Every structure is written in structure tokens, then in C-alpha cells.
Amino acid sequence: MNYEFFIAKRIIGSKAYKSSISAPIIKIGIAAIVIGIVVMMVAIATGIGLQQKIRDKVVAFNGHVIIMNYDSNNSQESVFPISKEQDFYPEFKQVEGISHIQAVATKFGIIRTETDFEGAILKGVGGDYDWKYFEEFLIEGRLPTFTKKWSEEVLISQYLAKRLGFRVDEDFQMVFAKDDPEKLPNIITFNIVGIYNSGFQDLDKQYIIGNIRHIQRINRWEEDQIGNFEVFIDDYDEIDRKGVEIYKSIPSVLNAETITNKYASIFDWIKIFDTNIYGIIGIMILVAGINMITALLVLILERTQMIGILKAIGSNNWSIRKLFLYNATYLIFRGLLWGNIIGLGLLFTQKYFKIITLPEETYYVAEAPVYVSLSYVLALNIGTFVLCLLMLLIPSYIITKISPVKAIRFE
């Protein structure tokens, strides 16, 4: 029988233990673990959630990897066409881990109304376009359908709709300049079938989603000519490696660029969240550990006479240390239990009821997103438990310095 565990259980279950001098300090130690777990869980869930939301919004407008022509054009407009007749299209079989590839083109134009005008980019898409991301962004109307050769249906952002007073089922004119300034511009009348809001205002204020046929006609391209390809991969964590593999698999006249390079400033910014998360975890574990060390020292001092008696009847130092470590383990488990209940409760409340909101112009999201995963919850609990327990090995060493004779006389 494990007598150390038996004695620890008797101490924990005794009424004297619950009303002892050390009881308030023990409660403070448990509270420190509870608060630490809650703060760490919220930091990880909101940090990863915010990273994923911002990343997904950039991916929605660009894909993970963009295949384009080598040219000196730094604008968002497609200038030199690419043939769709490529070995990697419509299925990119040369590289594993690619879920989808789609052909698109962009053209800058001016939206003209009776009282106002606004510059925007028409993003032309075809039947191969994946609307998965924009289904989530859609707030009014429906998504366009481009099964016909010609379609004037477009999806416009809420930002542009508010600025210009547009509503679903309304028509508007968009003016596109030609390469030759002496020629009259192209004027196309579009019909708004849906309004979207990604929350990423920098992109929302630029893009209107329409039929790629219009851009091909304006630019005098053939039906098999497009502006660029957007490639989607299965695992974002492999984006850099897949970007290199894609680049090596396409013709030498084409270039491949990942969104992490194209929008380097945004992705460098969201990487800072990782540093913040690690800092919060380190501080919380340190605070919780120090509080548990204090509680353990108080427990040892409070039971000095018991330690002397156990030594006198033959218990070695490690057995007595184990007894107090069992006691501390129980306290850590209590803190972890309540910390998980409160932390997960707060996260699921935010996830489903969206209580905490954020300014979209700063964070690109309307409410604080949360990411809840069993893997990081388990890792957080196991890591906190192991680190706190290791920190408690040091103060438990004081037991080896206690003399049985002096301890029995201790009051």
C-alpha cells in the first residue's frame, strides 16, 4: 500500500486541514492556478483565432499562392495575359497538398453614379471559382452565377454599397479606360445580386467580383487567356514549402508568390501575436508556481511536528517529500479543474454569442474570434501541471533539513 498517498488523503479530508492557518494561503494558490489557466487559455484561443480569421480573409481574395507573369506591373490590375492551357490547370497534380486552382483577372475601373464616383477593381472569375470564403462573407442577396457566357451579375462590398448608396438588385455603370487614350472608354452596366463584408476594409473597398468575360473583352484577350492563377493548399503551415514546389513546377516564364510575401506587413504583424502568447504563458505559469511554492512551504511549516514523528518512526526524506507533493498535486488539479471550467465557459460564450466586439478598421474583425482545440487545451493543462510540480520539488527539499528531535518539540 502507498502509505504516503494514504496519509495525504487523510490530511486533505480532515476538517482541521480545511480550517487551518494555511487554508487561506492554499486558496490563494489554487486561485492563482485558476486565473493563470483562464488567462492562458483566452490568450491562446483569441490569438490563434485572430490569426486564422485575418489569414483566411487574405486567402479569400488571393488564394495561398498566386501564379502570374513576370512583369514590372506593381498595380493590382492584370496587364499581360496568361494562357489557361497549362499542365497544372485545371488540376495541379505536380504538387501534393493542393486543394484547388482557379483562373482570375483584374481590371481597374470607375463606378459612376448621378452624384458620385468611386474607383474600384473588377475581379473577373469564372465557373472554376471557389465561393467557399465569400459564402461566409455574404450579408445580403446571393452569390453570382457565371454558368452563361455573359453575365452582368456582380458581388459588391458593403463598404462600397454604403458609400455609393447601392442596394441588392440595383444596376450601376462602371467605366474602364482603354490602352489608347484617344479611344472612348468601355462602359458596362452591372447588376448587384449580393453584398459581402469580409471585415478587411483595405480589400473590401477595392474589389467587386464579376464575370471574367468582361475583362477578356475589354483587354481583347482570347477565351483561354486570363490574368493569373490562384492556388489553394490544404495546410497553411506548409505555405512556404509549397510555394517553392509550385514555383519549380510551373514554366520558367511564370512566377509564383505566396500571400505571406505579397502581404508581408500583415503577416509580420500577426506573427507578433505568438510572442505575446508565449510571454503571457510564461508569466502566468511563473506566478502560479510561486504561489504554489508559498502554499507548500506553509504546509510544511505547519506540519513540522508530523514530519519529525514520521522521521522518528523510520520514514525517509523522499517518502515525506512525496506525501507533501501528493498534497500539492491535489491542489494543482483543483486549480486546473476550475480553470478549465471557467476558461472554456468564457470561450464558448464568446464563440456563440460574440459578446466582445473589436474595431474592424484596426483588427479586421468585428468581434474577438476564438479558436478552441482539444490539443492545445490538453497541452496547456499538462504543461502547467508538470512545470508547477517541478517547481515544487525545490521547496520540498527543506524537509531533508528538518531534525526529528527539534521537529517534535516544534510549536
Residue spans of the domains in the chain: they are 3-56+267-409, 71-252
pLDDT tens for the 411 residues of the chain, in order? 577 777 777 777 666 555 666 678 788 888 999 999 999 999 999 999 999 999 999 999 999 999 999 864 556 788 889 999 999 999 999 999 999 999 999 999 999 988 888 999 999 999 999 999 999 999 999 999 887 778 899 999 999 999 999 999 999 999 998 777 777 889 999 999 999 999 888 899 999 999 999 999 999 999 999 999 999 999 999 999 999 999 999 999 999 999 999 999 999 999 998 899 999 999 999 998 888 888 888 888 777 788 788 788 878 888 888 888 888 888 899 999 999 999 999 999 999 998 999 887 788 888 899 999 999 999 999 999 999 888 888 888 777 776 665 556 555
Per-residue b or e along 341-375, where b marks 16 or more CB atoms closer than 10 Å to that residue's CB: ebbbebbeebbeeeeeebebeebbbebbbbbbeee
pTM of this structure: 0.84
Instruction: Provide the H-helix boundaries in 210-313.
Output: 212-218, 239-249, 259-262, 264-302, 304-312
Decide if 158 contacts 197 (C-beta within 8 A). Answer: yes
Decide if 270 contacts 54 (C-beta within 8 A). Answer: yes
| Bridge pairing between strands 186-196 and 153-157 | parallel
Per-residue b or e along 34-72, where b marks 16 or more CB atoms closer than 10 Å to that residue's CB: bbbbbbbbbbbbbbbbbbebbbbbbbbbbbbbbbbeeee
Q: Which residue has the cell 492556478?
A: 33
